[in-house]
Every structure is written in C-alpha cells, then in structure tokens.
Amino acid sequence: MKKIILGVIVIGLGIYSVPKMDWGKMKWQASETVTVSGEAKSQQKNQIATFTAGVDAVNDSKDNAVKEVNSKMESLIKAAKDFGINQGDIKTQSLSFYQNEETYYDNGVQKSRKGQWRVSNSIEITLRQIDKASDMANLLASSGANNVYGPNFQFDDTSEFENSLFEQAIGNAKTKAETIASASGRKLGKVISVTEGAGLSNIYPVYAMKGAEGGGGAPIEPGSGTVSKSVTVVFELK
C-alpha cells in the first residue's frame, strides 16, 4: 500500500517539474494584394461589308403588288449571287404588306375606305471581298431596289488578334503593379486572379442610296477599327 502512494507522488512531482514551454500564438493572416488593369490595342483593317437592299410596290391589287416585289427581289438576289455572294450571306431582313386607309367626305361627313396595297421586302447582303464594296454599291444602285443602305464595314473574326493581345495586356498590368509595389517598398508576388474583357471600335463610312439609279459610284474606303483586350489582374504583394 505504501509503494502505491509513493508512486503517485513521484509521478505528480514529475509533471510539475517539466519546464514551461511558450509555443507562441497561431493566427491566419490574409495576404496583401494589389489590383491593376492592363490593356493592349491593335489597329486592323475592317474585314466585311454589309448592305441592305429593299424593294416595294404599291398597287390596287394585293396579288399584283406581291408579284411585282417578288419579281424584283428574285432579280436582285440573282444579281448578288452572280456577283459572287454566297447564298448563306444573303438573308431576308424584313417582309411586310398592308392596305392603306383613305379618307373622303360624303355630304360633309368624313369617312374612310380601304385603299391601295403596299408590299415591301428587304435583304441583307454580306460582302466578304471587301475591296469590291464600290462595285457592289454600284450594282445595287442600278438594280430594281428602291432602298439601298450601306456599306456598313465591320470586323468578322477577331479571335486571332485578341489572342495575341492577351499576353500584352497582362504584361501591361504587371508593369503597373511592379511600379506600385516598388513605390510602397514591396515586391510583386504571384498572380491571384485574372479577369479579361475585349473591346471593338470600328471606323467606317455608311452610305444611304434611296431610289438611286445607275451612274458611277464614288470610291469607297473600308477604313479600319481598333481591336483591344483588357484585363484586371490581382497580384500578391510581398
């Protein structure tokens, strides 16, 4: 019985004789970051031109008005195809027909009655051989179209340009971030996140030729546009 008691006392003394250790405090500290924007731009020639061409007819007979419009539209589409426009680049933009209301007086009383039918149809033509924009404008002006608008120059596919600008935009952001870090006595760390965006800005002339008939057309220049890539990058600060 005495041996057991002595053992307990020894163990107790052993516990209390262990040197006191200070392990410090553990805490999570969010890393400091800097957020900057970067941008890269490239001037590129416009790639395609679009035209809108429409025909309309007015007739007492709805059927006759429709036939007239259809006949002119068929000729217009054939002329566009003969010019070299693919069928997939010709699409109907609008089709409408309605009957006008006419007013008249009967014994001093104003009345209304159905009048003539007005039928219209228009198509959009995409020209991919952009250097032929002037020739296409002349073709449409001398066709049976009553209303012609264009050319409207624009980009078609800018993915190749944007991909090449992406790295430049990030590099621009990094340069800005390094300047900020240096000014604050810090060093730039790893990239935390990147958010990208793209922008297009076209510069082109637009012509409207309503009721144009034949004649030589003025020279047309396709102009150019700006392809840009912008990014927002978050960097770690050390």
Look at residue 175 and tell me whether its pLDDT is greater than 60: yes
Q: What pLDDT, in 10s, does the model give residues 105-133?
A: 777 778 777 889 999 999 999 999 999 99
Largest CA distance in the chain: 139
Q: What pLDDT, in 10s, does the model give residues 27-49?
A: 444 578 999 999 999 988 899 99
State the pLDDT confidence band at 227, using cuts at 50, 70 and 90: confident
pLDDT at 221: 76
pLDDT at 222: 81
pLDDT at 23: 46
State the pLDDT confidence band at 219, using cuts at 50, 70 and 90: low
Instruction: 80-89: list long-range contacts, CB under 8 Å, 24+ apart.
Output: 80/123, 80/125, 80/139, 83/132, 83/135, 83/136, 83/139, 84/129, 84/132, 85/125, 85/126, 85/127, 89/125, 89/126, 89/127, 89/128
pLDDT at 30: 53
Overall fold of domain 30-47+156-207+222-238: Translation Initiation Factor IF3 (3.30.110)
- Sequence-distant (6+) residues with CB within 8 A of 76 are 53, 55, 123, 140, 143, 144, 145
State the pLDDT confidence band at 56, using cuts at 50, 70 and 90: very high
Overall fold of domain 48-154: Alpha-Beta Plaits (3.30.70)
pLDDT at 27: 47
pLDDT at 218: 56
Euclidean distance between CA atoms 170 and 178, whole angstroms:
12
Euclidean distance between CA atoms 227 and 159, whole angstroms:
10
Look at residue 206 and tell me whether its pLDDT is greater than 50: no
Look at residue 212 and tell me whether its pLDDT is greater than 60: no
Percent of the chain with pLDDT over 70: 77
For residue 61, give both structure tokens: 């007979």
Look at residue 104 and tell me whether its pLDDT is greater than 80: no
pLDDT at 182: 92
Domain boundaries defined on the chain = 30-47+156-207+222-238, 48-154
Look at residue 63 and tell me whether its pLDDT is greater than 70: yes
- Decide if 30-47+156-207+222-238 and 48-154 have a common fold: no
